[in-house]
Chain A
Amino acid sequence: MSAVITVKSLSKAYRYARRRGGFFEAFSPEHVTIEAVAGVDFEIARGERVAIIGPNGAGKSTTLKMLSGILEPSGGEASVLGLTPWRERKALAYKIGVVFGQRSQLWGELPARESFTLLRHIYDQEAAPFAKRLGELTERFALTDLLDQPVHRMSLGQRMRCEITASLLHGPGLLFLDEPTIGLDVTAKAAIRDFIREHARDHGQTVLLTSHDTRDIELVCDRVIVVNQGRIVVDQPTDQLRRRFLGRKIITFQSAGQGVSLNLPGVTRRLSEAHATILEVDTKLTRVEQVIAAAMADGGIEDVTIEDPPMEEVIADIYASTHAT
């Protein structure tokens, strides 16, 4: 398959002034350079759905910003759809869609429909094909009833559905998503993930997303690039990563009396607090519902929370594993 994105030794360093203590030192700050991306190499083929994951400050968003033409790198090369993003930004913009989870490309006070119409002018789209694409997307994303509602009155999940629709209206072959599910509830996250996966699959679209949420990666992407401190730690298929690192859940039981005590394969007790028992479950060995059923049978359970392990832990495991081998 042909490469849609080719990245060679791409790096980005930020220089900033760090204030030192004392009155006079404030006038001569120390200049510090941080390597946000430290020479990464990868290729992404047409139709691949790839996640870049990593803890805060790992260089995920910086990489995405360089590949979408926002930022210029400090060094290295990149080709996106045959263009150099930072030199051919405007030409590239017609071919890519970009969604930032914490930024909006919509006009908050306007109904979504008017924002979409403005985007037609921005991307020089003909009216008829644009209307057809808008109709398909709004139907698939269940936006028909929201089109005449001002964006600022929408829930975060509804707004994000509109943002993703907006990024697809000009029919881009490549979609960049920066934390597309950040701040969303479980149902909204599920809707976004289903849509991205199915739309990309049906249209042969290439997707590159960054996320903190391991479920985004499992449910949307077929390949994962793990970055830490600006470097690629692991680059492998999601299935492979899932088998090794993504099959864990953290279950917290709140109880009035004694904590929960279970003896099941793959279930380990973490540091627990008074009336709260935190268990780590390897779901390949014991399913979540089995753990909950056993705990309920034990009696005294008042509340249960199921979470994915924090991304920092997943990265630490991957990092430890790759350095041990």
Chain B
Amino acid sequence: MMRAFRLYAAQSSAAIRTSFSDRGNFAIQVGGMIVNDIFFLTLWVLFFAGFRSIGGWTLSDMALLFGLTMSVVGISGVFFGGYRDMAATLLRGELDALLTQPKGLIPRLLARESIATAWGDLAGAVFVLGVFAKLEWTDLPALLLAIAAGTTVYVSASISFASLAFWAAGARTFARDLTDFMLLFSSYPGSIYQGAVKTIAFTILPAGFVVLAPMGMVRNPGAQTLALVLFGAVVYGAIAVGLFHLGVARYRRGASPSM
């Protein structure tokens, strides 16, 4: 276990150094993401200046949701950045080289890249959570657990989407679209989701488990909210691992589009 962790840390560290290697490009990407986040936040600040509340949600709730989303996307991008282009990686047949090596495939795929813009999300998250979300120091453990669980669900869902590449070549763009939809669903107040849309937000595109349930745990800590958040992380993690390995078995039978 320690060896696996050391390997992941070594790979992830190499990927982060790679993302830093072109400093000009890194600065532009991070700066661009910070500007993008500030613009998005400003819109909500202006919105709540006029309406005060939307379905019971106030600016501090929105800031918590926004900060959690940015934290999840930031941590995923910096430390598990390979999730973003995993479908394309699989379709290019790059699994072959990994299959001839003795370590787990999912960690190898996740740690192969670190996304520079994700640092912008992380910086924005610290600012938004610190300034607008009305959090106390006592909220910190629940907040960290919420971010960890949300990141697990977000990365797991992305792995599941990418695993579709074992069945269909079109998954190259489709997987990315699904991940983007999940992010979009994670960027709006949970109170606007009702009926079928709410079902989607808690199943196929698990935005509910990426931010809404973790956010509920931060605002109303308790056994029930904690259980819901952990349930989401464990279930989506298991689905991702199961689907990916089903796909690998198919790939090794020579039945995948990339073979």
A residues with CB within 8 A of B: 12, 14-15, 62, 65, 68-72, 86, 89-91, 93-94, 96, 98, 100, 103-105, 107, 109-110, 114, 117-118, 121-124, 150, 176
Contact A122:B96 (CB < 8 A) given known A71-B254, A109-B21, A110-B14:
no
Asked if B11 contacts A110 (CB within 8 A), the reply is no
Asked if B11 contacts A94 (CB within 8 A), the reply is no
B residues with CB within 8 A of A: 3, 6-7, 10-11, 14-15, 17-18, 21, 93-94, 96-97, 99-103, 112, 252-255, 259
Q: Which of B6, B7, B21, B253 contacts A72 (CB 8 A)?
A: B253
Asked if A122 contacts B101 (CB within 8 A), the reply is yes
- A178's nearest neighbour on chain B, judged by CB, is B96
- CB neighbours (8 Å) of B101 from chain A are 93, 105, 122-123
Asked if A122 contacts B100 (CB within 8 A), the reply is no
CA distance A219 to B64 in the complex (A): 67
CA distance A114 to B13 in the complex (A): 11
CA distance A89 to B94 in the complex (A): 17
- B249's nearest neighbour on chain A, judged by CB, is A72
Asked if A14 contacts B254 (CB within 8 A), the reply is yes
CA distance A72 to B251 in the complex (A): 9
Q: Which of A105, A121, A150 contacts B6 (CB 8 A)?
A: A121
Contact A109:B97 (CB < 8 A) given known A118-B11, A121-B10:
no
Nearest CB of B to A234, in Å: 26
Asked if B14 contacts A118 (CB within 8 A), the reply is yes
8 cross-chain CB contacts under 8 A: A14-B254, A71-B253, A103-B94, A107-B14, A110-B14, A114-B17, A121-B6, A122-B101
Contact A90:B253 (CB < 8 A) given known A104-B97, A109-B18, A110-B17:
no
- B97's nearest neighbour on chain A, judged by CB, is A105
Contact A123:B102 (CB < 8 A) given known A71-B252, A86-B252:
yes
- B112's nearest neighbour on chain A, judged by CB, is A107
CA distance A62 to B259 in the complex (A): 10
CA distance A71 to B253 in the complex (A): 6
Asked if A14 contacts B259 (CB within 8 A), the reply is yes
Q: Which of A62, A68, A118, A121 contacts B100 (CB 8 A)?
A: A68
CA distance A311 to B17 in the complex (A): 44
CA distance A150 to B253 in the complex (A): 35
- CB neighbours (8 Å) of A96 from chain B are 100
Asked if B252 contacts A72 (CB within 8 A), the reply is yes
- CB neighbours (8 Å) of B18 from chain A are 107, 109-110
Asked if A93 contacts B253 (CB within 8 A), the reply is no
CA distance A14 to B252 in the complex (A): 11
- CB neighbours (8 Å) of B259 from chain A are 14, 71
Asked if B102 contacts A94 (CB within 8 A), the reply is yes
Nearest CB of A to B52, in Å: 49
CA distance A89 to B251 in the complex (A): 14
Asked if A69 contacts B99 (CB within 8 A), the reply is yes
Asked if B7 contacts A121 (CB within 8 A), the reply is yes
Nearest CB of B to A117, in Å: 7
CA distance A122 to B112 in the complex (A): 13
- CB neighbours (8 Å) of B7 from chain A are 118, 121-122
Contacts beyond the supplied A71-B259, A121-B11: 11 A-B pairs with Cβ under 8 Å? A15-B255, A68-B100, A69-B99, A69-B100, A71-B254, A103-B93, A103-B96, A107-B112, A118-B14, A122-B101, A123-B101
Asked if B100 contacts A93 (CB within 8 A), the reply is yes
Asked if A65 contacts B96 (CB within 8 A), the reply is yes
CA distance A5 to B252 in the complex (A): 20
- CB neighbours (8 Å) of B99 from chain A are 68-70, 89
- CB neighbours (8 Å) of B21 from chain A are 109, 150
Of B10, B93, B94, B101, which is in contact with the most chain A CB atoms at under 10 Å from its CB?
B101
CA distance A118 to B12 in the complex (A): 10
Asked if B10 contacts A117 (CB within 8 A), the reply is yes
Asked if A114 contacts B94 (CB within 8 A), the reply is no
Q: Which of B6, B14, B17, B102 contacts A93 (CB 8 A)?
A: B102
